[in-house]
Amino acid sequence: MKMIINGKLADSECGQTFDVINPADGSVIDSVPRATAKDIEAAIDAAVEGQKVWAKIPTWQRAEILYKFVDLVKVNKESLAQTLCAENGKPISEARAEIGNILIAFPAFIEHAKHFYGSFIPAGQEPGNDTNLQLLTREPIGVVVCIIPFNFPCDLYDQKVAPALMMGNAAIVLPSSDNPLTLMKLSEIMTEAGVPAGVIQCLTAPGSVKSAAVTDPRVGLVTLTGSTEVGIDTAKLAAANLTHTALELGGNDAFIVMEDGDVDLAVEELVWGRMYNTGQVCCASKRFLVHNSIKDEFAAKVVDRIKKIKVGVPSEESSQMGCLISEKAAVKVEKEVERTVEQGGKIVLGGHRNGAYYEPTVIVDVPKTADVAYDMEIFGPVVPIIGFDTEEEAIEIANQSKFGLSSCVFSKDAKTAMRVASRMEAGGAVINGASFFRSFELPFGGWKQSGIGTEGVFSTFNEMTKAKNIILKNIY
């Protein structure tokens, strides 16, 4: 496949390519251009000019173009799902669901943009302003660089590209090198729908090459979803030009089951909240804090339930879990499980790797001093269970992490649940459900080292626009 630069299919200026690998079997799916800093510069040149054209197009007309994109996605949804399944390793059922989300997210952002009004401060609100009318408007922030991770590429494309375009910005999409193909196809469909040249571009830039986009002073916003380490490096680079950043980063979400919690419900939510996408979810529950009086029951039921999950080839209809994004990722999970065992944990299910596949794994007797109880984010289908005796101890363990993306608590007592949820140092707290909860409407974001800013229909437009005050002085 080729990149999209200035409305055209493009190779890299260096002529080099790299392969996109199917992680399930190691086969080559396709090759893509290896973008360089010069390619990124060319894309920004085009974006600056394209954005000026796009910003002049009325909101209703932008909406019509993006609705045409939605219609084209409907026509191509199975092909897109098959591509996502092959390059990502997630089951075809999950791939279809993710493509289906485009049909939810884009209309949501489109319709909200139609009703994203300005505001005003009437005359006479303070002394000296009896005859002045103060208007607040929002204007495009300009060129938006969208750095998108491997785990939910289409969902994050929705969250970043739809609001960027509806607010009159140009978007430069930089997908993960592990699985760029689906986003390349979506960007082609965007151009087919009528988005002008330079307004949507997609470049396959490996690793550090992406920094050329972050450091360009013509960029108005860098919106990134990824690891905390990459987010901090990105923020440092962007700071040189005071470029705005919106960062959704790592997480090590606490999953608390109180003494009166519904164990059966918690087990079912665990399967949803930890095993989805083979555990490669930023806001997945990753530390399972269970009251010691029910810890053994919980662990036994978790093992029995997880054994029923069918791990298989992602493209097979019956598969409920696939592989990790790469063998390298699976090796990392393997080492982190080994470290957890060295620090006192005991494996009661799984613990084995085969290429990019890592078995669903349950570890009991994990001490609250283990790395995983703090900041070691295991990005895979691993359930470390940590016991606690009191509510205070549970909250202490939950909040000892540098991360604060999301969290959850199970309790049949509403007061207990609300009390614990309110004390969690995280951007979200789910009651009687897994922390893996993210609607497109929600202003989703983390505390501490889990990020800066929020994403969602409720709040993204503020991230992707600049405020302008227009004062009508002595108008009355």
Q: Which DSSP category does 64 fall into?
A: H
Tell me the residue type at 474.
N
**Closest Cα partner for 210 from 244, 172, 246, 182?**
172
β-pairing, 465-472 vs 451-452, is unpaired
Tokens 């029951």, residue located: 297
Q: How far apart are CA 316 and CA 377, in angstroms?
A: 29
DSSP tally for the chain: helices H, then strands E: 13, 24
- Which of 94, 248, 336, 391 does the annotation list as catalytic? 248
Task: Choose the catalytic residue: 146, 282, 283, 323.
Answer: 282
User: Which tokens in the block code for residue 166?
Assistant: 């509806």
463 as an active site residue: the answer is no
Q: Which residues contact 308 (CB under 8 A, 6 or more apart)?
A: none
Q: Which residues pair with 136 in a beta bridge?
A: 119, 469
Q: What is each CA distance from 306 to 223, 299, 310, 357, 381, in whole angstroms?
A: 35, 11, 9, 15, 10
- The CA distances from residue 259 to 1, 19, 266, 390, in Å, are 54, 51, 12, 9
414-423 vs 391-399: helix axis angle to the nearest 10?
A: 30
**Beta-strand (E) ranges in 128-215?**
133-140, 143-147, 170-174, 200-202
Residue 142: closest CA among 53, 233, 29, 247: 53
Cα–Cα distance measured from residue 73 to residue 402, given in angstroms and rounded to the nearest whole number: 39
Q: Mention every residue, 6+ apart, whose C-beta is less than 8 A from residue 217.
A: 241, 243
Q: Which residues of 94-125 are buried (b: 16+ CB within 10 A; e: fewer)?
A: bbbebbebbeebbbbbbebbeebeeeeeebee
Q: Strand 361-364 relative to strand 346-349: parallel, antiparallel, unpaired? A: antiparallel
| 248 in active site | yes
Q: Which residues contact 355 (CB under 8 A, 6 or more apart)?
A: 26, 323, 327, 330
Catalytic positions are: 248, 282
